[in-house]
Amino acid sequence: MKLFSLKNLFLLLCCAAPFVYLNSIFDSLPDQVAMHFGSDMKPNRFGDKSNLWSTVSFMMGIGVVAYLIITNVGKLDPKNQSLQSQGIMEKLGITSIVFISLLTIYIIYTAVQGESGNLLFVLLGGFFAIIGNFLYNIKPNYFVGFRLPWTLENQNNWRKTHQLGGKIWVVGGMLAIILSFIVPEAYMMKLFIAIVLLMVIIPSFNSYTYHKAGNQ
């Protein structure tokens, strides 16, 4: 892997962006900023603005670790099945870095504003929609996807589950984006959780049903 490449430069810029943004506005921030929000998207805890540096460092640390794990799962897969989807894994890792960078910038913004709007669900919806596109074509592996006993033991089950799951995640992500412009902030979190549960339950149940039908 080349150390200096356009991809690595892009990843570096994504990691640096939240730090640059925070540094550019830090002096103008009040001493106390919102540090946590409740399910109603209202701030319920405040803290010193210097704590934002540790928040940014923690979030981007998660992003880097997630990228390294996702792009190296092929080396950890005992059957080397993940290597068949290495291109998808690389795109998924890059997407994760971009998403966490944008999410961290949003966290800084909400801390400054003292309120959290529905933009969070636009980011999450977009992320899930992109993941759905990746799920549709991902090959069987032990690390990413609907890793159920019956999907891991049957390639047809895996393929059908992820083709359905991919479509549902794209639709669910887009639905979350649309609803974020319609539903009030106080209700959007509960609605989003319901959407995510359906995105997980429907493909899993369909996969189990396919498995049972094959055993009859």
Query: What is the chain's length?
Result: 216
Q: What is the pLDDT of residue 90?
A: 86
Give the mean model confidence (pLDDT) for residues 171-188.
Answer: 90
Query: Could you tell me the maximum CA-CA distance found in the chain, to the nearest angstrom?
Result: 68
Q: Count other Cβ atoms within 10 Å, centred on residue 205.
A: 10
What mean pLDDT is predicted for residues 182-198?
A: 89
Residue 111 has a CB neighbour count (10 Å cut-off) of: 25
Rounded Cα–Cα distance for residues 187 and 176 (Å) = 12
What integer is the mean pLDDT of 8-27? Answer: 91
Rounded to 5 degrees, φ, ψ at 42 are -105, 145
Report pLDDT for 2. Answer: 54
Which one has a higher pLDDT value, 209 or 112? 209
SS3 78: coil
Q: Write down the pLDDT at residue 7.
A: 83
CA distances from 196 to 64, 124, 171, 173 (A): 25, 10, 11, 9
Asked if the model's pLDDT at residue 74 lies above 70, the reply is no
Q: Which one has a higher pLDDT value, 35 or 124?
A: 124
* pTM score of the predicted model: 0.82
Which two tokens mark 150?
A: 């019956």
Total Cβ atoms within 10 A of residue 21 = 16
Indicate whether 84 pLDDT > 50: yes
> How crowded is residue 166: how many other Cβ atoms within 10 Å of its Cβ?
20
Query: Rounded to an integer, what distance in angstroms lies between the CA atom of residue 124 and that of residue 122?
Result: 6
Q: Give the position of tokens 């992109």.
A: 130
Average pLDDT, integer, range 123-143: 87
pLDDT-based confidence at residue 216 (cuts at 50, 70, 90) = very low
Q: What is the DSSP string of 156-169?
A: HHHHHHHHHHHHHH
pLDDT at 211 over 70: yes
Which pLDDT belongs to residue 41?
60
Between the CA of residue 59 and those of 20, 41, 62, 120, 191, what are the distances in Å?
14, 20, 5, 15, 25
